[in-house]
Amino acid sequence: MEKNDLAKSSDTSIEKEGIVSQNLSQDGIPNEPLDNDHIGIENISVEPSKLYEAVLALRNYGFNYLQCQGGYDEGPGKNLVSFYHFITVDDLKKIEKIKEVRLKVFLKRDSDLSIPSLYKIFKGSDWQERETYDMYGINFIDHPNPKRLLMPEDWRGWPLRKDYIQPDFYELQDAY
């Protein structure tokens, strides 16, 4: 690789890191900048153990509303992901011109699927975290009511995982 190619690749990595990711890094919170989404919103990956700390920092930066929390499955044998979309709903922001950001926590499906609940910071995460648990099996530590929301309490498995095998109609659990 020539010097120009190396300079171009390092410039790209610098450009990839957005202002929120830079601020988290400056505050000592490890993170990994991801590609912006299709409308230019900054995406950041954090480790499960740093999620709570990162969200507290985001709230201090002015991201005072958790608009959405959810999950998705990257495919059989791949990661399960918990994602968070934060926005600013007033003019108290400390980072100028940034109004929304997304955090993602990637979890290996064959390891511990536990991450901190954000309920103590954002009460609106209550049902969103319960739905993510119900559909993907991601556990939210310190959630005040970690029960199934959509499926019966005795349901086996996580229906939105891509490796989920739906039981035959003879094997369905009695919902009532």
Phi-psi region of 174 (alpha: psi -120 to 50; beta: other; left: phi over 0): beta
Identify the top-confidence range among 8-12, 84-88, 153-157. Answer: 84-88
Q: Specify the amino acid at residue 165.
A: I
pLDDT of res. 6: 44
pTM: 0.82
Q: Which residues contact 69 (CB under 8 A, 6 or more apart)?
A: 82, 83, 84, 85, 118, 125, 128, 129, 132
Where does the pLDDT of residue 18 fall: very low under 50, low under 70, confident under 90, or very high at 90 and above?
very high
Sheet holding 79-87, edge to edge: 32-34, 42-45, 100-108, 79-87, 65-73
pLDDT of res. 90: 75
Cβ contact 88:99 at 8 Å:
yes
pLDDT at position 55 over 90: yes
pLDDT of res. 44: 98
Q: Where are the domains of the chain?
A: 3-111
Please provide the CATH number assigned to the domain covering 3-111: 3.30.460.80
20 secondary structure, DSSP code: H
Instruction: Determine the length of the chain.
Output: 176
